[in-house]
Amino acid sequence: MFDDKKPSCFVVESYNTNSKNLLPKKNKKICKKCGSYMTKRKNLKTSEEFFGCFHYPKCNYTESL
């Protein structure tokens, strides 16, 4: 159990250090299928970049750059 009003130093440091890396970079692209943010991705076979839904694989909507 923990007190969510007084998080430990570890929790605060971990949140401040790692939370920015876990979220997609916000842009103005919104998925037309589910309404989530789109994130820049790279095709591993062709190295082409594209926008893909942040909720992949639940949502597989993509757009060209």
Question: Does any domain span residue 1?
Answer: no
What's the CATH code of the domain at 38?
A: 2.20.25
Q: Which domain holds residue 55?
A: 25-64
pLDDT in tens, 30-57: 999 999 999 999 999 999 999 999 999 9
What residue type is 65 in one-letter code?
A: L
Among residues 9, 57, 54, 3, the alpha carbon closest in space to that of 31 is found at 54
pTM equals: 0.56
Q: Which uninterrupted H or E stretch holds 14?
A: helix 9-22
- E strand intervals along 1-65: 38-42, 49-53, 62-64
Q: What percent of the chain is helix, strand and coil (3-state, nearest 5)?
A: 20, 25, 55
Mean pLDDT of 17-23: 53
Domain count, the chain: 1
